[in-house]
Amino acid sequence: MTCVPTTEPTRRSVLLRGGCVVLVAAAALYAAPAKSLDRLAVHVPVTSETRAPIGWAEFCTDNPRDCTGGPTAPRDVVLSPKAWRDLAQVNTWVNNAIKPMTDLDHWGVVEKWSYPDDGYGDCEDYVLLKRRMLIQAGWPREALLITVVRDRKDEGHAVLTVKTDKGDYILDNQAEDIMLWSESGYRFVKRQSQADPNVWVSLGDPNSSSATATAH
């Protein structure tokens, strides 16, 4: 998966400079006019079960404790101002702390999902660390979904989808801002199921009449 940025991540807002911009972002989210949003605009439509990426299967072989557990009930995060601040802090800290490096340069193989504990990694590794940090902070695993997308160049990329009561938000190592999935510019391919992290589901075209926004 080609997902190491050739330039610095887009920093439309610097989130951890005294916490000020984080507060502004949270305030803007809650100051938005109340309106009825199309469910397909805020939640990624899910179609059917699909095969898990080989990188996830190999990650689970290396990290079995992070992949254990049976099916559970889907859960969405209540996106309070504090939750938004915490999410922004984790996203920015990981994006700034980890240096981009391809798996080929890092490990000598084309594809390897791993925690970037040595300070280097590609997109899946950023995602894995953000997911681990949020789970350790008490966020429900069912709301933190590793997601495979295609970018504007039709290249593979990975992001973390956070399921909330206000929609599906994306944490991306190539952008500092946390954004609604439909504003990311990506084509969404597959992600973990909310009910079981070892089950993966296909993500459909929101303009397709066959696409549904069921809980996964």
Q: Which pLDDT tens digit goes with each residue over 68-100?
A: 877 899 999 999 999 999 999 999 999 999 999
Q: Which residues pair with 156 in a beta bridge?
A: 150
| Domain residue spans of the chain | 20-203
Q: Is the pLDDT of residue 189 over 70?
A: yes
Q: Which helix (H) or strand (E) segment is 20 a member of?
A: helix 20-31
Best CATH choice for the domain 20-203 from the list 3.10.620, 3.40.50, 1.10.260, 1.10.20: 3.10.620
> Each residue of 163-186: pLDDT tens digit?
999 999 999 999 989 999 999 999
Q: Do 162 and 169 form a contact (C-beta atoms < 8 A)?
A: yes
> Each residue of 109-156: pLDDT tens digit?
999 999 999 999 999 999 999 999 999 999 999 999 999 999 999 999
Residue ranges of the alpha helices (H) in 39-142?
Answer: 39-42, 54-62, 81-97, 103-107, 123-136
- The C-alpha atoms of residue 132 and residue 26 are separated, in whole angstroms, by 23
User: What pLDDT is stored for residue 2 in this prediction?
Assistant: 62
User: What pLDDT is stored for residue 41 in this prediction?
Assistant: 80
Q: Which residues pair with 187 in a beta bridge?
A: 150
Mean pLDDT of 102-111: 96
> Each residue of 26-61: pLDDT tens digit?
434 443 433 444 555 899 999 999 999 999 999 999
pLDDT band at 9 (very low <50, low <70, confident <90, very high): low
